[in-house]
Amino acid sequence: MIAILKHGTTAEQTEHLISWLKRMNLDVHVSQGAEVTILGLIGDTSRVDMELLGSLEIVESVKRVSEPFKQANRKFHPEDTVIEVGTAKIGGGNFAMMAGPCSVESEEQIIEVAQAVKASGAHILRGGAFKPRTSPYAFQGMQGEGIKLLLKAKAETGLPIVTEIMNISTLDLFADIDIIQVGARNMQNFDLLKELGKTNKPILLKRGLANTLQELLMSAEYIMSEGNENVILCERGIRTFETYTRNTLDLSAVSVLHDLSHLPVIVDPSHATGKAKLVPPMAAAAVAAGADGLIIEVHNNPACALCDGAQSLTPAQFDVLSKRVAKIREALV
């Protein structure tokens, strides 16, 4: 970490600051220039409160040279992390297709969709049991009952399950779930992250709508610092001024996260765009950008032709997407 001191800082002020930093077990290397004095802080600076340091009267600015995340950092763990669930692998050159309905609605629905997406090559079944909804009056998911239906679909098809947790008090219900998802709105629910860090379940951590990539990695660090290294990062769109799409899918996140971290990175084009017809091109783009997996909404509701246009794909559309993804992956080799 580098602290640049303001022009006009007195020797006494500088000494005062240095002795404060040394009390935090840091070595301080002073570089006295004509216009500025620069302090190089050496040691474990991940514990230094950069904002506090930067706000001191005599400090012009502070700059990290090393990243504040350690366990998620590729510098300290050069090889890709590979997460295994059942026969599926994610990361390190292994690609995982996750698919399924937004919400679990009934046994028939979830099993039918599970069979359909498996037939089209999906490796993991997604489905929401606990649903974070903006409105308290909207359907909040089948909750515990939904989890049971997901496990039935797993028994039926052999597909591992990924589903979202909203509240640590429900953790027991997730005992047989393969991957626990933390939604975008909970990306900085630090107490939830810490508790999940005490499990050994793979955690699918979605980027928050207004969170930087560094903050996403810091949230992964919360999980990992408690002992659970099985974190999958997920880009799912950020909030911008553009209103045509629900969010703006930031595909450069895939490369950047791969650069900074050894963790696998997947992409959710369904929630990012909010429009079914944008899902296939954005899924293709995500794969070309190097994603280690996709998570796609698919539902099968022949009784209700009304829903054809939702952000979910039909099984037939998913089948086309899945084949296209396979071809792009071959082209990238």
Residues in region 73-132 near a copy of itself by CB under 8 A: 132
Q: Which DSSP helix (H) or strand (E) runs through 88?
A: strand 88-90
User: Cα-Cα-Cα-Cα dihedral of 306, 284, 94, 261, to 10°?
Assistant: -110
When asked if residue 214 is in the footprint of a copy of itself (CB under 8 A), the reply is: yes
Per-residue mark of binding to a copy of itself, 125-164 (x: CB under 8 A): -------xxxxxxxx-------------------------
Sequence letter at residue 159: L
Residue placing its CB nearer to a copy of itself in the complex, 65 or 316: 65
Q: Which is nearer to a copy of itself, 87 or 303 (CB)?
A: 303
Comparing CB distances to a copy of itself, the nearer of 4 and 115 is 4
Using CB under 8 A, pick the residue from 109, 118, 150, 222 that binds a copy of itself.
222
Smallest CA-to-CA distance from 163 within 102, 108, 224 is with 102
- Closer residue to a copy of itself in complex, CB, 82/288: 288
Beta carbon of residue 107, minimum distance to a copy of itself (angstroms, whole number): 22
Question: How far is it, in rounded angstroms, from Cα 212 to Cα 297?
Answer: 25
- Integer Cα distance of 80 and 123 in angstroms: 20
In 3D, which of 195, 198, 259 has the Cα closest to residue 233?
259
Residue matched to tokens 């990306």 = 187
- Which segment (30-38, 77-85, 88-96, 174-182) binds a copy of itself by CB under 8 A? 30-38
Q: Which of these segments, 104-112, 119-127, 143-151, 240-248, binds a copy of itself (CB under 8 A)?
A: 240-248
Positions 168 through 197 that interact with a copy of itself (CB under 8 A): 168-169, 185-186, 188-191, 194
Backbone angles phi, psi at 183, to 5 degrees: -75, 165
Name the amino acid, one letter, at 213.
L
Report 293-312 residues binding a copy of itself (CB under 8 A): 304-311
Q: Are 140 and 101 in contact (CB under 8 A)?
A: no
Closer CB to a copy of itself, 56 or 151, in the complex: 56
Question: Which residue of 14, 94, 143, 225 would you call a contact of a copy of itself, by CB under 8 A?
Answer: 225
Torsion of CA 317, 319, 322, 328, to 10 degrees: -80
> Nearest approach, Cβ of 56 to a copy of itself (angstroms)?
5
DSSP code for 168: G
- In the complex with a copy of itself, the residue whose CB is nearer, 87 or 136, is 136
Which residues in the 42-71 window bind a copy of itself by CB under 8 A? 42, 46-47, 49, 51-52, 55-61, 63, 65-66, 68
Please give the structure tokens belonging to residue 8: 């006009």
* Residue pointed to by tokens 């022009």: 7
Nearer residue to a copy of itself within complex by CB, 53 or 159: 53
Q: Which two tokens stand for residue 158?
A: 């052999």
Q: Compute the least distance from the CB of residue 84 to a copy of itself, in Å.
A: 25
Q: Which of 76, 198, 252, 320 binds a copy of itself (CB under 8 A)?
A: 252
Contacts with 333 (C-beta within 8 Å, 6 or more apart), sequence order: none
